[in-house]
Amino acid sequence: MGQVTQAYPHLDLEMVRQKVKLASSHWNKQKWLVIYNALVDPRTSAEIARHCGVSEGFVRKVIQQYNRTGEIGLSTPGKGGRRNCYLSWDEEKQLIDGFKEKARCGQIATAIQIKLA
Q: Each residue's pLDDT tens digit in the chain (117 positions)?
A: 568 888 888 888 899 999 899 988 888 999 999 999 999 999 999 999 999 999 999 999 999 999 999 888 888 776 766 666 777 888 888 888 888 888 888 888 777 887 777
Burial class (CB in 10 A: 0-12, 13-18, 19+), 37: buried
Separation of alpha carbons 44 and 56, rounded Å: 9
89 and 70 fall within a common domain: no
Range of the domain at 34: 4-74
59 and 115 fall within a common domain: no
91 and 64 fall within a common domain: no
Q: Is residue 80 part of a domain?
A: no
Q: Is the pTM of this model over 0.75?
A: no
Residues 6 or more apart in contact with residue 48 via CB below 8 angstroms: 5, 34, 37, 38, 59
59 and 18 fall within a common domain: yes
Residues 6 or more apart in contact with residue 60 via CB below 8 angstroms: 5, 45
48 and 95 fall within a common domain: no
58 and 94 fall within a common domain: no
Domains of the chain: total:
2
Q: Alpha-carbon Rg of the chain, whole angstroms?
A: 23
